[in-house]
Amino acid sequence: MGRKGTVAGCVGTSRPMRGWQRCLMWLWLVGSAAACAPGSSSAPVVSTYDEAKRRYVAAIERDLRAGAFPHVRLVPIPPTSEPYKPGAAFKKGATKPASHACIISEQRMPEAKQLRELWAAGQQPQFTLAADASEMLAQAAPLVPAIQRAITLKQAAMVSLADTTQISLTTNDLLPVLRHESCLDATLAQEVMMVQGIIYGAEAVSNARYLDVGSREDLLQGGRLRARWDPSGGFYLQETKVRPKYWMVSAVRLDLTVEQTVKTPEQRVQALKAYVSGQGGELVVSERTPSDQEVQALSDRVAHAGAKKSGR
């Protein structure tokens, strides 16, 4: 590649790279040589940060649905909300899971997996830099001249997640927990938004795929942000703390088929007990992809409840 330098925050040496460095190495690899200049790219520029972020998330969803999670959607986890684990089932209009009996225990939780394979191939969604584009940019701009200058020039920038990992279980993997009597009692014959996994990461923004030799790095806002920038005006800004960012959610309905017609609450209880004890009945699982409206409604409800609980 000629000169040594930093590839979007990656020092040009043979040392192992951290997750956030690998993320930006990938961004550079999928771009063209012309994309090395700050604020330049062949990808179409999206007008707002929020829209670029939505397109980035949509690309991850498509990759997930092409694999083991054909009906999954990503729902943002508010910073004020408890990051409920796989198995959490939200009824329509609810802000909390229907039953903690449905949630997978810590002992049965799978190990976190690196998510390089989830990053969508091709150009990253871009947005036009603005001081109010995101809280992270607003906090960093007064402290890093390169970021302030890029905002003043209204350069294009890319949004991404770094240090990304996933903890997830397919619906079949969750069945042993979903068959629990208390879980069935709370969710049977009702469609719920079922959490199948959590994606962890740190938010990042950059205006260049390649940072020149002589780039500097500093921690900002009491160590909450990490910034890198070079003399040519390229910068890379990232949260330092990896947090639960998105729930992987699908719409699931559990129905119990039994030989005798269930008409009363007492008969329902008997049918549940008979199924759980292996004495009859069959559990039918239906699954579909939640709509945009359902994803937004769940996100809004949980965010509002979290903000109210924290007193914001």
- The string of pLDDT tens digits covering residues 248-272 is 999 999 999 987 788 888 888 888 9
User: At which residue do the structure tokens 């996994």 appear?
Assistant: 197
Q: Is 215 helix (H, G, I), strand (E, B) or coil?
A: coil
Q: How far is CA 59 from CA 25, 56, 162, in A?
A: 18, 5, 15
What is the model's pTM? 0.84
Q: Which of 22-36, 209-223, 250-264, 269-283 has the weakest average pLDDT?
A: 22-36
Do 159 and 205 touch, CB atoms closer than 8 A? yes
Share of the chain above pLDDT 90, in %: 61
Helix (H) or strand (E) run with residue 199 in it: strand 191-206
Could you give the CA distance from residue 98 to residue 77 in angstroms, rounded to a whole number? 18
Q: How far apart are CA 18 and CA 153, in angstroms?
A: 31
Q: Which pLDDT belongs to residue 89?
A: 97
- Which amino acid, residue 77? I
Residues in the chain: 312
Give, rounded to a whole angstrom, the gap between the first and last alpha carbons of the chain. Answer: 50
* 278-280-282 Cα angle (round to 5): 95
Q: What is the pLDDT of residues 37-74, one digit of tens each?
A: 455 445 567 779 999 999 899 989 988 999 899 999 99
Q: How far apart (Å, rounded) are the C-alpha atoms in residues 203 and 214?
A: 24
